[in-house]
Amino acid sequence: MTLTLAATLPARGFDVELDVAEGRTLALLGPNGAGKSTALGIAAGTLRPHDGHVVLDGRTLVRAEGGRSRAWVPPHARQVALLAQEALLFPHLSVRQNVAFGPRSQGARRRAADAVADRRLADVGLAHLAERAPSTLSGGQAQRVAVARALAAEPRLLLLDEPMAALDVDVTPALRQTLQGLLAGRTAVITTHDVLDALLLADEVAVIEDGRVVERGPTAQVLSRPRSAFAARVAGLNLLRGAWTGGGVRTPAGEVAHGHAPGDGLVEGAPATAVFRPAAVAVYLGEQHGSPRNTFRGTVHSLEPRGDLVRVRTDHLAADVTPQAAAELSLVPGARVWLSVKAAEVDVYPG
C-alpha cells in the first residue's frame, strides 16, 4: 500500500484504519462530524493521533503511542498536499507566485519554479490568469489555482477536503472534470457528501460514521450494494437491514422485504440487506393486498421537489411520486401511509 493510516484520537471519538494503493483515489463519505477531516488532518500532519501510525511509500510519517509521538515528520516535509474547502491563496502574491511557492520552498530556482507553475496552471485551464492577484479571481478560479498549487509541489499524496463544497453549483461540474483528469494515476483521498464526486473521482469509497469506518469497497459496489444507511442515502436508495428469514429480509422492527437475490450466499438467520429505488415505491393510504408486493407502514416526515416528482420521506424510507398523486393522497407531514414496492424491484444480498 502507498498509504496506510491507523489512528485513534479519543478526544474526538476517532478510531480509523485506511489504506490507499498506489495511484488510486479513495473517497471518504460520511455525515457531518463523522471524522473525515480528522482523517485528512492526521495524514497531513495538522493533527497528531493519540495512538497509531501513518506510513506513506514505506516512510513513517507519524507513530504515536499513548499520546506520545515516537516518530514525527512535520507537515511541510511529508510530501503530502492538503487542499481545503477554501482556496487560501496568499493574497500578496500573484497567481503564478502562489503556484510556484511549493517548488520555490523546495529549493527550485525562480525560473524553474515559474515554469512548473505555468504548466500546472495550464493543467487547470488558467494559464491566462498567471499575473492576476488572488483577490480578482472568482471562487471557482481560486480553487483551481489552489489545485495547481497543490500539484506543483509534486506531492506523493493529495488530500482534498470537500473541494467543491464552497463553490457555486454551476462551476462544480467543470472543476470535477478537471480533478477527474488530474487525479488519474495519483494517490489521493477526497472527502465528500456528493455521489458524483465518489462516482467520477474515486476508485474506492470508505464510509465513516461516528469516527469509525463502517463500510468500504470499490465505488460501484458500495453505491449499488450499500450496507450503511449513509451510503444508501448518498446512492439515493432505500435500505433495510436485517436477517435472511423464510425468503425475505426481516428487520429488527419486524418489517419483511422480499426481493430477488442474484447470486447466492444468503443463509437462513444470517445478516442480509435489501435495497430499492424511491421511484419504485408507491404510496397508499390503506394496506394493499395481493400481488407479490412488500408493504411498509410509515409517517410522512417531509415532501421535497425532485425533478418532475415529489420525494416523500417517511421515518426510514423514501418514495418518489407524481405531484398529482401527492395532491390526491393529501400527503402532508404527519400523514400515515403505506409504502409498497414489488419484490422484483428489491435487490437482496448477504451482509
Ligand X SMILES: Nc1ncnc2c1ncn2[C@@H]1O[C@H](COP(=O)(O)OP(=O)(O)OP(=O)(O)O)[C@@H](O)[C@H]1O
Q: Which is nearer to ligand X, 33 or 173 (CB)?
A: 33
Work out whether 38 is an interface residue with ligand X (CB under 6 A): yes
Work out whether 12 is an interface residue with ligand X (CB under 6 A): yes
Q: Which is nearer to ligand X, 30 or 155 (CB)?
A: 30
Strand order of the sheet with strand 336-342?
282-284, 336-342, 293-299
Which listed residue (8, 37, 178, 187) binds ligand X by CB under 6 A? 37
Work out whether 8 is an interface residue with ligand X (CB under 6 A): no
Q: What angle do CA 212, 215, 216 make, to 5 degrees?
A: 115
The least CB distance from residue 35 to ligand X, in Å, is 4
Pull the grid cell for residue 259: 426481493
Determine the interface stretch with ligand X among 35-43, 253-261, 304-312, 336-344 (rule: CB under 6 A).
35-43
Determine the interface stretch with ligand X among 26-34, 59-67, 248-256, 274-282 (rule: CB under 6 A).
26-34
What is the distance between the alpha carbons of residues 253 and 242, in angstroms, rounded to a whole number? 9
CB 2 within 8 A of CB 43: no
The least CB distance from residue 191 to ligand X, in Å, is 6
Q: Which is nearer to ligand X, 51 or 345 (CB)?
A: 51
Maximal C-alpha separation, the chain: 78
The enclosing H or E element of 15 equals: strand 14-20
Decide: helix, strand or coil at residue 304.
strand
- The runs of H, that is alpha helices, within 131-194 are 139-152, 172-183
Question: What burial letters (b/e) apply to 84-102, b meaning 16+ CB within 10 Å?
Answer: bbebebeeeebbbbbbbbb
What is the distance between the alpha carbons of residues 237 and 70, in angstroms, rounded to a whole number? 45
Work out whether 36 is an interface residue with ligand X (CB under 6 A): yes
Pull the grid cell for residue 55: 506510513
Work out whether 32 is an interface residue with ligand X (CB under 6 A): yes
Pull the grid cell for residue 85: 474547502
* 254 to 293: interface string for ligand X, x by CB under 6 A: ----------------------------------------
Q: Which of residues 73-102 bind ligand X (CB under 6 A)?
A: none
Q: Pairing between strand 293-299 and 256-257?
A: unpaired
Which listed residue (3, 26, 27, 34) binds ligand X by CB under 6 A? 34
Q: Which is nearer to ligand X, 9 or 348 (CB)?
A: 9
Work out whether 33 is an interface residue with ligand X (CB under 6 A): yes
Work out whether 30 is an interface residue with ligand X (CB under 6 A): yes
Q: Which of residues 161-180 bind ligand X (CB under 6 A)?
A: none
Residues that bind ligand X (CB under 6 A): 12, 30, 32-38
